[in-house]
Structure 1
Amino acid sequence: MFKYILLILLAFLLTTTTLFNPAFTQDAVNAKLLSHVPFDVNSNDVWGFEKDGIQYAIIGNANKTSIFSLEDPEHPTLRYEAFGATSIWRDIKEYKNFLYVVADQGSDGIVIIDMNEAPENITHDFFKPKIPLQGDSVLLRKSHNLFIDTKGFCYLAGSNVGNGGVLMFDLNNDPWKPEYMGIENFQYSHDAYVWNDTLYTSEIYVGRMGIYDIADKSNPKLVTNTITPNQFTHNVWGDDKNHLAFTTDERAYAYLTAYDVSDPKNVKQLDVFRPAEKESTGVIPHNTHFKDGFLVTSWYTDGVRVIDAHKPDNLVETAYYDTWDDIYIAHTSYHGAWGAFPYT
C-alpha cells in the first residue's frame, strides 16, 4: 500500500471565502488531512524542503512565497514570506539549501531564497540576468515553471526570452548568480523534466511532449516529439530509471498518460487514466509527479489522485483526497488542487 499523508503539501487555488468556510469538507480514500492553513490570497504551486530533520512546506501565493515549518505537521508554523510580483502562476524548486522561484507575471526574474540558516534566518533576493540571444540580449523577467536536476542545472520553461523554450543555468559555482548555459528555443515549453542529458518538454500550444538531447547545452538537439491524447500538454515527469514518462493535458475530460521512452526515438503510449466516477464531469488534470512507482497527481476540483504505476500499461488508482467542495463551481473550472508534493 502506498502510504500518502496529506499535510499542507497541497496547494489550493481557492477564493478567500472558501478558504475560511467552516463547512469545508472532503472525501478521501487512503489519505488523511493533518492540517489546513487558510490564506487571504489565492495560492498556486507547492514544493517541499528538509533541513536538520525539519520539513518545510513552500507555498506559492498570488503575491509571495510562503515558507512553513512542519516540525509539528498538525500545526504548521509560518517562518518566512518572500514577497514579489502579483501572479496567478508561481513555481518553486530546491537545490542545496536554496529555493528557486519563478512567476509567469511581473518582473521577478528568479527569486532565490537562502535556507542555510533556516528557520532562524531566511533571506531572499532577485536575479534578473540578461540572456544573449541572436546577437542581442534580453532581460529575464518571468517564467512559467522550472526544474532542477541532480547535477545542479536549473531549467526555466515558458520565459519571456525567445520562443519561451527552456533556458538552462548552472547553479554550482554561485547559487546567487546562476550561470547561463544555453536555450532550447525550438518551441514554447510550459514545463520541463530532465534526466541526465535528456530534456522532456511540455509543448502545450502544439499539444506534444518534446524530447531533446542536451549533452551540449549550448546546442540542444531535438530527438523526437509525441502528440499527447488531448493535445494540450501541460506537464511531463519521468520515472527513476528514464524508462517511462507521464504527461497531463490541461483540458476538460483529459487524461494522465504513460509512455515507454526507453528508446526516445520510438516512444510508445502505454495507458491513459482519468477518474472513472468523474468521467462525465469534465474534471481537469494539472500536474503529476512520480515517486516509488506511484503517480501523485493534482486534479483541480477533484483534488489529489494517487495512481499505481508499477504496471504502467495498467494504471490503477489507490488513493485520493478531494480538496474542493463547492457544488456551485463547475468541475471544468481551474479551482481546487493546483499541485501536490510527494518527496519527503
Structure 2
Amino acid sequence: MTGVASRLPRASLLLPLGLVAGLVPACADDHDTIADRVRATPELSQLRLALDASGVMGELDGDGSLTLLAPTDDAFAVFLDSQQLSAAELLATPGLADLLRYHVTDPARSVDELGAVTTLTTLEGRAIELTTDLDGLLLNGDVRLISTPIEADNGVIHELDAVLARPTTTTYASAPHVPLDVGRTDDAIVIDDAGYVRDLEVTVDITHPEVWRLDVRLHNDVTGDDIVLASSPQTYNDDIATTFSDRADHDVVDDVVWGYDAEPAFPEASYRPVEPLRFAYGTPLAGTWRLVVDNRDFEPSGWLNTWSLRVTSTAERPDPSLAVARPRAVSGVMAQGFHETLPVRIKRLSGLAGAVDVTVGGGAGVTATPVTLAADDDVAYVPYGADLDAAPGTRTLRVDVTAGRPHRSLALPGAVVVPDASGVELLAQVPLADLGAAGGEGNDLWGWTDPETGHEYALVGTSVGTAFVDVTTPTAPRYLGLLPTHTDASLWRDIKVYRDHAFVVSEAAGHGLQVFDLTRLRGVTSPQTFTETAHYGGFGNAHNLVIDEETGYAYAVGATDPGADPVCAGGLFMIDLHEPTQPTYVGCFAGGVPEGATPGPAYPVAAYTHDAQCVVYRGPDVPHQDHEICLTSDGQIDGSGNFFGIADVTDKAAPVQLARITYAGAGYTHQGWLTEDQQYFLLNDEYDEFGGSNTRTYVIDVRDLDAPVVIGVFENPRDAIGHNTYVVGGFAYQANYTSGLRIVDLADDDPVAMAEVAYFDTHPEDDVVAAGTARCSR
C-alpha cells in the first residue's frame, strides 16, 4: 500500500482493527497465548504495537513455555523520551526485534522462581541480571516487576516499570608507566564505541611510597564530571593496586590499612570508592576518560603504571531519571532525640528538569522524612530520627525518589550506631557538605569567642578551606560561610587565633599564611564565601601553626619555602603577629646541640618539628622563668628519628636548644601539652600503638628544662591511635583515631596515675583503624 495511509502512525491503523476483532467470535479451541494476553491488556498497547511491527508477536503465539517481561505504556513513554524517538519512529527502528527478544526468556517462571535465579538468558542471547532489595526483585539493577503475573497457556507475562536496556561489557586498558609529578598527572583512554554507561569499574596500579599524599579520580572530558576514587586515604602504607567498584565489600574511607610498611595500603582486590561510580550512569561511552592523580609530595615520587575501565554499556540510552547513590553505608553517631542527616547524592541525567522529591524511611524506629531538591541541587542531606531505646542498632534505610515518573524505590543499606559514650552528650552535628565541603574531609578546628558580643565560633579546617560556624546555641549551630583555600585542596589545614584574627596554614603547595579578621563574622545572617583579610607568603606550605598568644609570635612548623624546599629544615619558622594583618619573619630554629652536650644522633644539624607548644615559662626551673620556651614534638614519619625537644626562643635571632630526648617505643612523635603548673608534658606518639599496645600517653618530667625525663606511660583501655591532647582545668582532653574524645583526670599527687572519667567514641565499630576524631578544640 502506498500513499498517505502508509505514512500514518501504526497505532491509528490498528485501533479500528482492534474494534473489529472484538466483534469476531472466540476460536473454538479457546487457546489463550501470551500474544492473546498482550492484545487483551490495555496498559500493554505500546508493547503490542512493537511486537506486531517487529514480527516477534508470532513467536509468542505458538506452543512452548516462555516468560515475557513486558514494559507498560508508562515505561515505554519514558523510554521513548530517553531515546528521543516518537512512537512511529520506534516501530521503524531496525533493531526493534532484538530489543523485544531481550524481554523474552525460556521457560515460564513465577515471581518466586525468578527470585531463585541470578541471571536469565533471553531469546536475544544476552543475559539479564536479577537482584533483590527492600521492595522485591530488580532486573539489571533498577527495573522492577510492578503487577500480578498474567498467566497464559504457553507461559507468563510480568509487567515492568521500565524497558530493559541490553548490556555489553568491554574492558579498555592503558599502560602509561609515567612518573607522578608534584601536582597533577593524568592519562587518557579514548573510547570510540557508541552507547551509554550503565555500570563501571576502575582498576589501577599506582606505585607510591606514601599513598596518603594522593588523590585519585576518574574524569570525563565530555561531561566535565569527576568521580573521586580515593582522597588522601588514611594510610601511610605503599601503593594502590586494586579495583574500585560500587559492589565491593570494603570501603576506601574505612577499610584501607592504617600503618607504615606493614602491608599494601589496599590489600583487598576491590574497594567501594569515595564517590560512587554509579554517578557515571547514563554518560555517553564515547569520549576521553582520564585517570587523574594529584600528588601532594614535595617532589616527583611514584608511578602511574597501568589502569583500565571495565564498562557495561547499552545501545539504548538509560532512563533519564536519576542515578541515586551514597559514598558508603551510614555509620554516623546518633543520640536519642537527635536528628542525624543521611546524605543522598543525586546525579541528574540530561532530560530531567525540575525539583526532585526524596524520602528516607524504612526500618523500625526510623521516621520517613521527605525533602525536595531544587532544580539546581544535586545533594540532599535528609534528616531522619530514631528512638534508639525502642529500636537500637542497625537500620536498613530506603530512599524513595519520584521525579515526574512512575514511583520507583532504590534500596540503600545503612546503619545507625548507638553511640558508645559516658559523661559526654552530643548536642548537634553538622555534616561536611553543610560546611561547604561536600565530598571533602575535615582535619582540624579551633575556637574564638567574640569579646564584644560573647558569641562563640568554631573555625573548622576542611580540605577546601576554613568554615565558620556560630555555636553560641550549641543545639543549633549555624554555618556562616567559607574562606576558600589560598591555592589547592588539602586534607591538612590548621587554624589558630590571635587578637581576633584567624591564621590559617595548609599542606597545600604554596598556600602560605592566610589572615582573616574574625570580627567580619558579626551580623552574618546567611552563608557566604569570604575573602582573606591579608596573606603572608614567606613560606609555602606548613603542617601546623603554633601561636604564643601572650607574646604575639607565631611558629610555622613542618614548613617549606614557596619553591617547596624545606625552610628552617621544617623546624620553627618564627613570625611577628603584633600587627595581625602584617606578619613579619623574625627568625628560624631548626635544632642544635645544647650547651655541654655531646653532638650525635639526638642533635642533628636539622630537626623537623611536627607540632609544638610555645609559652612564657612560669614553672619551677628558676633560671628559665619568664623566658619564651617552645616544647617541640619532632616526629619523623619515615622513622629516621623521633624526639621531644625544648628550646628557648626568647631571642629570635639566637634561639637555644635546651634539651632533646627520645624514648622507648618511639614511632612517630606527634603532639603534646603541658600541665597547667608547667611541671609535666603529656606526649602523644602516632605510631607506637602498632607495637601492640593500647593508646599511650607519655608523661615527661620537665621541672628541669635542661634535663627532661620520661617518668611513665598512661595507657588507655582502648587500642586506638593517639593523636592530640590539650589540658584545661586539671583534665586532659584527648582526640584519638577511632576512639574519639577521651577525657582524663590528671592526678595531683602522681602525674602518671591518670584516670579516664568520660569519653565519646566517634567510631565504636572499631578502635584500631584510622577514623573518627583527630583534633579537639581547646
Which interval holds the TM-score relative to the shorter structure? 0.7 to 0.9
- Deviation at residue 241 of structure 1 after TM alignment: 3.1
CA deviation map 1:192-215 (0-9, x unaligned): 111121111111012111001111
Matched-pair contact (CA < 8 Å) for 1:271–1:315: no
Q: Which moved more, 1:97-106 or 1:16-25?
A: 16-25
Q: Distance in 1 between matches of 2:740 and 2:468?
A: 22
Alignment of 1:305-320 (within 5 A): 305-311=742-748, 312-320=751-759
What is the aligned partner in structure 1 of residue 428 from structure 2?
A: 35
Matched-pair contact (CA < 8 Å) for 2:494–2:544: yes
Q: Distance in 2 between matches of 1:156 and 1:162?
A: 10
- Deviation at residue 125 of structure 1 after TM alignment: 4.2
Matched-pair contact (CA < 8 Å) for 1:89–1:104: yes
What is the aligned partner in structure 2 of residue 169 from structure 1?
A: 575
Structure-1-length-normalised TM-score: 0.85
What is the aligned partner in structure 1 of residue 540 from structure 2?
A: 141
Alignment of 1:140-289 (within 5 A): 140-149=539-548, 150-160=550-560, 161-172=567-578, 174-186=579-591, 187-196=607-616, 197-205=628-636, 206-231=641-666, 232-251=668-687, 252=689, 253=693, 254-276=695-717, 278=718, 281=719, 283-289=720-726
Q: Distance in 2 between matches of 1:90 and 1:228?
A: 29
Matched-pair contact (CA < 8 Å) for 1:156–1:166: yes
Cα gap change, 1:37 to 1:229, in 2 (>3 Å): farther
Cα gap change, 1:92 to 1:185, in 2 (>3 Å): same
Matched-pair contact (CA < 8 Å) for 1:42–1:62: yes
Cα RMSD, aligned residues only: 2.0
What is the aligned partner in structure 2 of residue 82 from structure 1?
A: 483
Matched-pair contact (CA < 8 Å) for 1:101–1:111: yes
Alignment of 1:19-168 (within 5 A): 20=342, 23-39=416-432, 40=438, 41-51=440-450, 52-84=453-485, 85-120=488-523, 123-125=531-533, 127-130=535-538, 140-149=539-548, 150-160=550-560, 161-168=567-574
Gaps of 5+ in 1: 1-12, 131-139
Greater share of helix: 2
Query: What residue identity is the alignment partner of 1:50?
Result: T
Q: 1:322 aligns with which of 739, 743, 761?
A: 761
CA deviation map 1:155-210 (0-9, x unaligned): 111101231001111111x2112111111122100001111211111110121110
Q: Distance in 1 between matches of 2:582 and 2:502?
A: 13
Fraction of identical pairs, as percent? 28
- Deviation at residue 242 of structure 1 after TM alignment: 2.2
What is the aligned partner in structure 1 of residue 24 from structure 2?
A: none
Matched-pair contact (CA < 8 Å) for 2:684–2:697: yes
- Deviation at residue 71 of structure 1 after TM alignment: 2.1
The structure having more radius of gyration, on CA atoms, is: 2
- Deviation at residue 110 of structure 1 after TM alignment: 0.8
Which protein, 1 or 2, shows the higher relative CO under an 8 Å CA cutoff with sep ≥ 6? 1
The SS at the match of 1:188 is coil
- Deviation at residue 24 of structure 1 after TM alignment: 4.2
- Deviation at residue 106 of structure 1 after TM alignment: 2.5
What is the aligned partner in structure 1 of residue 731 from structure 2?
A: 294
Cα gap change, 1:300 to 1:245, in 2 (>3 Å): same
Q: Distance in 2 between matches of 1:151 and 1:170?
A: 9
Cα gap change, 1:63 to 1:24, in 2 (>3 Å): farther
The SS at the match of 1:116 is helix
Matched-pair contact (CA < 8 Å) for 1:207–1:230: no
Cα gap change, 1:299 to 1:216, in 2 (>3 Å): same
Cα gap change, 1:230 to 1:49, in 2 (>3 Å): farther
Query: What residue identity is the alignment partner of 2:740?
Result: G
Matched-pair contact (CA < 8 Å) for 1:199–1:214: yes
Q: Distance in 2 between matches of 1:189 and 1:126?
A: 26
Cα gap change, 1:126 to 1:32, in 2 (>3 Å): same
Cα gap change, 1:214 to 1:120, in 2 (>3 Å): same
Matched-pair contact (CA < 8 Å) for 2:496–2:547: yes
Query: What residue identity is the alignment partner of 2:773?
Result: A
Q: Distance in 1 between matches of 2:415 and 2:523?
A: 33
Structure-2-length-normalised TM-score: 0.39
Greater share of strand: 1
Q: Distance in 2 between matches of 1:305 and 1:155?
A: 28
Gaps of 5+ in 2: 1-233, 235-252, 254-273, 275-326, 333-341, 343-413, 433-437, 525-529, 561-566, 592-606, 617-627
The SS at the match of 1:163 is helix
Matched-pair contact (CA < 8 Å) for 1:128–1:141: no
Alignment of 1:3-22 (within 5 A): 17=328, 18=330, 20=342
Matched-pair contact (CA < 8 Å) for 1:230–1:249: no
- Deviation at residue 326 of structure 1 after TM alignment: 4.2
- Deviation at residue 239 of structure 1 after TM alignment: 2.3
Aligned length: 313
- Deviation at residue 310 of structure 1 after TM alignment: 3.3
Q: Distance in 2 between matches of 1:157 and 1:22?
A: 40
Q: Distance in 2 between matches of 1:235 and 1:126?
A: 28
